Structure 1
Amino acid sequence: MKEKLKVGLFIPCYINQLYPQIGIATLELLEKLELDVYYPQNQTCCGQPLGNSGYEEDSKGICNLFVENFKEYDYIVGPSGSCIYHVKHHFDILEQTPEVQRVRNNAYELCEFIVKVLGKTDFGASFPYKVGLHKSCHGLRGLKLGSCSEVQGEHFSTEEDLLKKVKGLELMSLNRKDECCGFGGTFAVFEEAISAKMGKDRVQDHLDSDVEVLTGADHSCLMHLEGIINRNKKPIKVMHIAEILNSSL
């Protein structure tokens, strides 16, 4: 019998605190794929907020703790492109021990892991709604989860590959397919007005495209957009892509 892959489930701190349903959906998806999934109880933040704010040196303790928690797994999988990007590309501030390199090399965003590592696209999900896909900057341009609209070449998207297999789902075409939502972590705090305007523009694009449910693979971006939607009482629901892929409506 082939030995199952041992996967360490990384749930970002804001999902753990505010959107536990996304963590549950991610776990259930991975279990459907018959993986051995473990949740290290001592995991905390990946260190991204400190790093984004210029305090990389102060974040080393958090980053080292992340390595300690996840070094034993074949893969580290999380439902957040920005957090996984931070692990893969900004843990260069640490001494590059074999454990650090192993964690950096084996960390994957959920959609990328499912499509590129496991070669799966269909979970038998059903979701009869018009869906708009927000492609986050870290996922698209950092992790290369898809092709960018400003670059010539063949179009591809791991998120689209998964959504197109969902029964009843209609993936709507946006006018500006991969524009930034304006969140940018602490950018939303220090440049509030610019961030809010960029977010409103993204929401309006989805409204203009008759979107009923806005989704994406980075819930930090979705959290920003959902706040704008709720404050302005716009008729769009926000769901992480893991929730849609795990649905059976």
Structure 2
Amino acid sequence: MASNSDSVSDTQRTLYPYVTGTSVVALKYKNGILMAADMGGSYGSTLRYKSIDRLKPIGKHSLLGASGEISDFQEILRYLDELILYDNMWDDGNSLGPKEVHNYLTRVMYNRRNKFNPLWNALVLGGVKNGQKYLGMVNMIGINFEDNHVATGLGNHLARPILRDEWHENLTFEEGVKLLEKCMRVLLYRDRSAVNKIQISKITEEGATLFPPFSLKTYWEFSAFKNPTVGAEGSW
């Protein structure tokens, strides 16, 4: 007969996030969905990894971005691989669209939360099917919504105000990329977990495209960066 300690040891949970990624920002543009994330992976407060892909195509019509625990994201990708494989086995000429995948993810996250074994991620799911653009997000406790632009992590506080001011439904691809770069630059300046190596992906009716990573151009000669106490009372 197994002891209580043996049965407890068989259950493994992510009690604390170890290697984590920061914000994902996404928006609808004229022809589809654009999504951006940096490639940093933080081990605690240390930026340990700088080439982590957090944007992944899912099936034929969807694109997934994740912030939070990287190993939990890998587990979610395994779930989605099984889901897409099972759907393809029907061979009925239909395939899961972004709305169905997003609904599935909301159920997975909420189910794991109810088991007190959450997946420590916030997910962004976008896609295009039959000419319909879809963009939504879900966090680690199952809270979810659909919108014209979404962001996770610190981006939810710093990037979305920019998107509310500057986003419109007729954004061209070039305008959308420029807007995402602006958001990612703001996050780089203010988020200690962000790196300037970012990746942008798009998905249209034709499928997903992951563009090569590139470095954001930054400017650090502002007087506030050189001496943040300039003009403050009692400074010298």
Higher relative contact order (CA closer than 8 Å, sequence separation 6+): 2
Larger Rg: 2
Q: Same fold (TM over 0.5)?
A: no
Shorter-normalised TM-score: what interval?
0.3 to 0.5
TM-score (normalised: structure 2)? 0.32
